Amino acid sequence: MKTNFVKYILFFLASFAFVSCQEDDQVKFTEDTATVPVLTNPEFESLYNLDKAQADDVFKTFTWTATKTDFPSKIVYALELISEEGLSTVIEETASLTSEVTIGELNSALGAVEADTLTAANYEFRVVSKLANDSGNSTGVGLASESFNTSIKPYASHYKLFVVAASEGGKVVDSERYIISSAADHEYAGAVELLATETYEFYTNDFNDGSAIVYGVVDGAFVEGGDALVLEEDGKYNFTASLNDDQAVSFVKAQPILWVPGAHNGWSHDIVEPVEGDIQSYTNVNLVSVQNNGVYTGKVWLTSEFKFSAQAGWDGTNYGAGSSKGQLDTDPGAGNHNAADFEGPGLYELEVNTNSNIFKVLSVEKLPIEVPEENALWIVGDQSAWGLNVNDIILETKEGSGIYEGVVDLVGAFDLRTTQDGIKVDKTYRSPVITEGQVSGNVEENATYTFRVPKKDKYLLKVDLNEGTYELGEAINYVYKVGDANGWNNPDDANYFEIKIPEIYVRGSKVYETTLTMTPGEGFKIVGVPGSWADSDGNWGFDNFPSNSSLINNDGGNFKFVGEEAKEYKVTLDFNNNTMAFGERIYKVGSANGWNDTANSNRQRAEWVSDQVYVLETALVANEEFKFVGILGSWDDGNYGWGDVENTTSELLQDKDGNIQFVGTDGTYKLTIDLASKSIEIEAAQ
């Protein structure tokens, strides 16, 4: 029997005792003590011409066998690309035994070794296994598989704009003095060391004809043959430049610090001293470049999305997510980095290189996790960053039965592991065969292949360790709306409106939702079985399912919709407490999208949260104007402006000719709209 108390452990599981995995005299990680990984699908075509238009397409899904050791160990794998120019990592260190590589990711790896984009060359692929510490970071040299070669012609993954001293006569003398267009779109950014005693011009041959062009700078723009750039003092300078229509260029003297705004600090650039010993207090901190050389290091608590900024605000150079994990992109439209792509929430030690536009995770410290009292089977994989996560478990149905069951969110590959009281990994279970696309199969201790789900989804996972089997279940339960809209017709082939449990049937769930178009005065009921009005099959009206929605009345035991407009509503039926909620769809339309209310315009939908209450988290800019409208692309449907607002406590919103105007500073905000009380509130997004 287990002791009936909840244990708290550190994510890195100090007692896992991977001391033996360090490179010392205790353990030698060699072919004598470990098996070499083997690429299991080495077939390649003779030549690949990579195309930027296909950057998101899959180049190849690589799989390999596991490295097994004679001692307790944690293993990570990396897929490497070898060429005459050097070695590049295609897949960063992962505990998975399979990984998908897109054409864009492969091209980025080729760009890292400055591969020739004009001709095809020979390249070799291999997988390398390495010992890892408790945080999943490799601790030394590895064991390499046999290499397999092919010829590849990459496309230009980035462009360089060289900064040449005027005394160098318009030639590239220092090949390391440049700023980079990471997306090969002639939008450049970077940091370079310059002298006040020199003047500078900008050199490129990245245009299609390959001819060299030398630019000067006139009134903040590039001009071919224009004046050389003059600086007031020596130092490193951050440049943002374009060789597109406006040919604008701006620069500022680099600072030895880098800001990290994101979801963890409300997208703020404010700096707050962290509390010693509290890893979650490292939210408003800087990364520091000790040498002021464009390479920044430091620790920051990350939860989900984030960016890097070269200044204490958004005006200037910001580093969003590039085409591959860990790549930086200075394009203002670049997306955000996300801690979920690494190890989830945690205290990250980062190294950010703004010269090569890449960053890497040096270590991650996680919060202590709570271990359940029940016997648990831990799901360790891509969804948990290959660590123990208390949310990624299924429980034994009866103590000692060896049968585990639960509903879990899964993505990609995973192992199944048992622990000794949640403290130390005891056994690891995998599949004896590749499970790509399978929803059932065999489970064996220390087998070769990870399990792999067909798609990212919520699954009902059942594992029987006695029989050595597993099963991924998917079943959807429905109830049905019958009433005026279909002539109260309830035979099997009637025009039903299905109302389902979201995504997938979750064992024990009794909450259903859908989107329905309702009309004023419409009556209806909910039935459980098509073709049956029997109470035993489910026959719900207002008498036995009273609604808490102001839009639903009792009409002789039926539901009656009393809203004033015909429109689409989100309907939620909660059979746990017999309540029905209606939420109309409303959208933010305004100056941010050109006041365009057509069906395919860039409108933002506010999410319904309760009866006539909606929430929208959105980026706002100073003096932006907007309204909220309905779903039909008509200003007669909804059209909620300042005249509909009777209550607000915020000074950030005001009237502007009947529109709602935001008068705060640029940033991401949470809007809460209550149509019943005619109120709107705003706060900084968390």
Q: Mean pLDDT lowest for which of 157-161, 225-229, 346-350, 619-623?
A: 157-161
Task: Give me the DSSP letters along 587-609.
Answer: EEEEGGGTT--STTS--EEEEEE
Using one digit for the tens of pLDDT, what is the confidence trace for 471-490?
Answer: 886 544 567 888 888 888 87
* CA dist., res. 295 & res. 262, Å (int): 20
Decide if 339 contacts 304 (C-beta within 8 A).
Answer: yes
Q: Strand 148-153 vs strand 121-132: parallel, antiparallel, or unpaired?
A: antiparallel
> 598 pLDDT exceeds 90?
no
Predicted confidence (pLDDT) at residue 566 exceeds the cutoff of 90: no
Report the candidate in 458, 454, 424, 581 with the shortest Cα–Cα distance to residue 514: 581
Sign of the dihedral defined by the CA atoms of residues 458, 459, 460, 466, in that order:
negative
Q: What is the DSSP string of 469-535?
A: EEEEE----EEEEEEGGGTT--STTS--EEEE-SSSPPTT--EEEEEEEE-TT-EEEEESSTT---G
Q: What average pLDDT does range 452-469 have in this prediction? A: 84
Give tens-digit pLDDT for 94-121: 888 988 899 988 888 887 777 777 788 9
Angle at 505 between CA 500 and CA 509, to 5 degrees: 85
Report the candidate in 125, 117, 123 with the shortest Cα–Cα distance to residue 52.
117
Most confident of 24-28, 248-252, 369-373, 653-657: 653-657
Question: In the predicted model, is pLDDT for residue 550 greater than 50?
Answer: yes
Give the model confidence (pLDDT) of 672-684 as tens digits. 988 878 889 999 8
CA distance 18 to 212: 55
Q: What is the pLDDT of residue 500?
A: 53
Q: 188-205 pLDDT, tens per residue?
A: 888 888 999 999 999 987
Question: Residue 616: how many CB atoms within 10 A of its CB?
Answer: 19
Averaged pLDDT, 207-235 = 85
Of 146 and 15, more confident = 146
Q: Could you tell me the two tokens for 517?
A: 């178009």
pLDDT for residue 426 is more than 50: yes
pLDDT of 308 above 90 = yes
Output the CA torsion 269→342→72→427 (10° steps): 120
3 state SS of 268: coil
> Locate tokens 């980079």: which residue?
180
Collapse the DSSP code of 70 into the 3-class scheme (helix H, G, I; strand E, B; otherwise coil) and give the result: coil
Beta pairing class for 257-259 and 286-288: antiparallel
Q: Identify the CA nearest to 239 among candidates 192, 195, 204.
A: 192
Q: How much is the average pLDDT of 236-257?
A: 85
Can you tell me the mean pLDDT for 532-538?
Answer: 78
Buried b (16+ CB within 10 A) or exposed e, 161-192: bbbbbbebeeebeeeebbbbbbbbebbbbbbb
In the predicted model, is pLDDT for residue 585 greater than 70?
no
Domain architecture of the chain: domains with CATH: 14-153 (2.60.40.10), 159-253 (2.60.40), 257-365 (2.60.40.3620), 373-465 (2.60.40), 478-583 (2.60.40.3620), 586-684 (2.60.40.3620)
Quickly count: other Cβ atoms within 10 Å of residue 140's Cβ: 12
Please state, in angstroms and rounded to a whole number, the distance separating the CA atoms of residues 519 and 488: 15
Supply the mean pLDDT for the chain: 80
Global confidence as pTM? 0.37
Instruction: Decide if pLDDT at 19 tops 50.
Output: no
Rounded Cα distance between 589 and 635, Å, is 10
Determine the pLDDT at residue 22: 36
CB 39 within 8 A of CB 147: no
Q: What is the DSSP letter of 505?
A: P
**pLDDT category of residue 499 using cuts at 50, 70 and 90:** low
Question: Phi then psi for 606, rounded to 5 degrees?
Answer: -80, 135
Output the six-digit token pair for 607.
């999410």
What is the token pair recorded at 403? 């049968």
Which amino acid belongs to residue 549? Answer: S
